[in-house]
Structure 1
Amino acid sequence: MAEAPDNMVLVYIRRIDEKIDRVIEDVREVRITNLEEGQAGIHRRLDRVEARLDRIERRLDLVEPAH
């Protein structure tokens, strides 16, 4: 005797569950990527601020000469 097929509702629920799991993983990856890009942007801005501050200190002769 052949086995009865799964209830079609359960089949669809399992498919939806698998798709939701993939969507959740994709969202996590997107959020991590966005956070990494934001952090890189902050580092670039800090680097520019640091370079400008160094230039200002040199122009105002606030930097001690290297020994």
Structure 2
Amino acid sequence: MVEEPDNIALHYLGRLDEKVDALREDNREIKQRLGLLEQRYVLLEQQYASLSSRMDRIETRLDRIEKRLDLVEV
């Protein structure tokens, strides 16, 4: 069995130390999750930029097709 400290201050310091350790672990987990979210955000930005670029090229090609077929007024 664990001996209880004679000094009440030491007892509370021990409990405080346990709580600080728990907060450190929570903080580490939060940072890890935030890092994953940041990676996903960057990936989504890249995918959006790629999709936007593709849409621009499709629009340009469609404009050329419409002009060749005389479907639009110049």
Cα displacement (A) at 1:15: 2.5
Identity %: 38
What runs of 5+ residues in structure 1 fail to find an aligned partner? Answer: none
TM-score, with normalisation over the residues of structure 2? 0.66
The answer for the alignment partner of 2:14 in structure 1 is 6
RMSD: 2.3
Cα displacement (A) at 1:11: 4.9
Alpha-carbon separation, structure 1, partners of 2:29 and 2:48 = 28
The answer for the alignment partner of 2:4 in structure 1 is none
TM-score, with normalisation over the residues of structure 1? 0.71
Give deviations 1:2-45, integer Å, cap 9, x for gaps.
x4243566554333221101011111111211112111111111
What runs of 5+ residues in structure 2 fail to find an aligned partner? Answer: 1-6
Aligned positions, number: 65
Alpha-carbon separation, structure 1, partners of 2:21 and 2:63 = 63
1:21 is aligned to 2:42: no
Once the two structures are overlaid, the 10-residue window that deviates more, 23-32 or 47-56, is: 23-32
Alpha-carbon separation, structure 1, partners of 2:26 and 2:14 = 16
